[in-house]
């Protein structure tokens, strides 16, 4: 038989040897309620006043919140945006544009801009190459 069961079987020690003054439990709640009534604060009010009771804790929480917000905005949003902006400025324009636009179109555009001073013959040649009739051109000019 193990020790635990030995002790559990032996009921002699299970008797409660302590007693209380007569009428103790009948008056105990009065004693506590008297102390509670002396404190003019109900549980609801205690809950509401919690923030007023810990001004330093609240101030520290606000400062902490602002610090965390600043860190998040500065390092996770502002800094990466700045980084991309700088990269864009530093990058060779050709590196960005070449993959997007056809090389021939760029060359064509370059030709046009290089010969920015177009004269009447150039225009006429261009229009004729595009199969636009001479009469239509003269009608347009005389309009």
Partner 1 sequence: MKQHRSDTDIINDILQVETSHAAFRELIEKYQTPLYWHVRKIVLNHDDADDILQNTFIKVWSAIPQFRQQSKLYTWLFRIATNEALTFLKQKNKNNTLSIDDLSSEWITKLRADPYFNGDETELAMQKVLLLLPDKQRIVFNMRYYDEIPYEEMSEILETSVGALKASYHHAVKKIENYLQQSLNLSLNE
Residue 3 or 129: the one with the smaller Cβ distance to partner 1 is 3
As measured in angstroms, the least distance from the Cβ of 20 to partner 1 is 6
The span from the CA of 3 to the CA of 125, in Å, is: 117
H or E stretch including 87? helix 79-90
Q: Quick check: 13 binds partner 1 (CB under 8 A)?
A: yes
As measured in angstroms, the least distance from the Cβ of 14 to partner 1 is 6
Q: Which of residues 30-69 bind partner 1 (CB under 8 A)?
A: 31-33, 35-37, 42-44, 46-47
**Phi (first) and psi of residue 107, to 5 degrees:** -60, -40
Q: Quick check: 11 binds partner 1 (CB under 8 A)?
A: no
Cα torsion through 84, 87, 93, 97, rounded to 10: -40
Q: Quick check: 23 binds partner 1 (CB under 8 A)?
A: no
H or E stretch including 116? none
Q: Quick check: 4 binds partner 1 (CB under 8 A)?
A: yes
Count, residues in the chain: 143
Residue 12 to residues 8, 16, 17, 20, 108: CA-CA distances in angstroms?
10, 10, 11, 21, 111
Residue 19 or 129: the one with the smaller Cβ distance to partner 1 is 19
**Which residues of this chain interact with partner 1, rule CB under 8 A?**
1, 3-4, 6-8, 10, 12-21, 24-25, 28-29, 31-33, 35-37, 42-44, 46-47
């Amino acid at each position: 038989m193990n020790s635990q069961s030995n002790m559990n079987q032996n009921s002699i020690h299970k008797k409660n040897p302590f007693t209380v003054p007569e009428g103790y439990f009948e008056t105990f709640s009065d004693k506590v309620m008297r102390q509670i009534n002396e404190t003019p604060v109900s549980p609801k009010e205690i809950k509401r006043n919690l923030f007023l009771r810990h001004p330093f804790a609240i101030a520290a929480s606000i400062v902490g919140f602002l610090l965390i917000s600043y860190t998040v905005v500065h390092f996770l949003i502002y800094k990466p945006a700045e980084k991309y902006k700088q990269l864009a400025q530093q990058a060779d324009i050709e590196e960005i544009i070449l993959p997007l636009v056809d090389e021939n179109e760029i060359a064509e555009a370059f030709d046009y801009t290089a010969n920015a001073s177009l004269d009447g013959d150039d225009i006429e040649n261009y229009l004729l190459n595009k199969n636009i009739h001479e009469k239509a051109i003269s009608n347009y000019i005389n309009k």
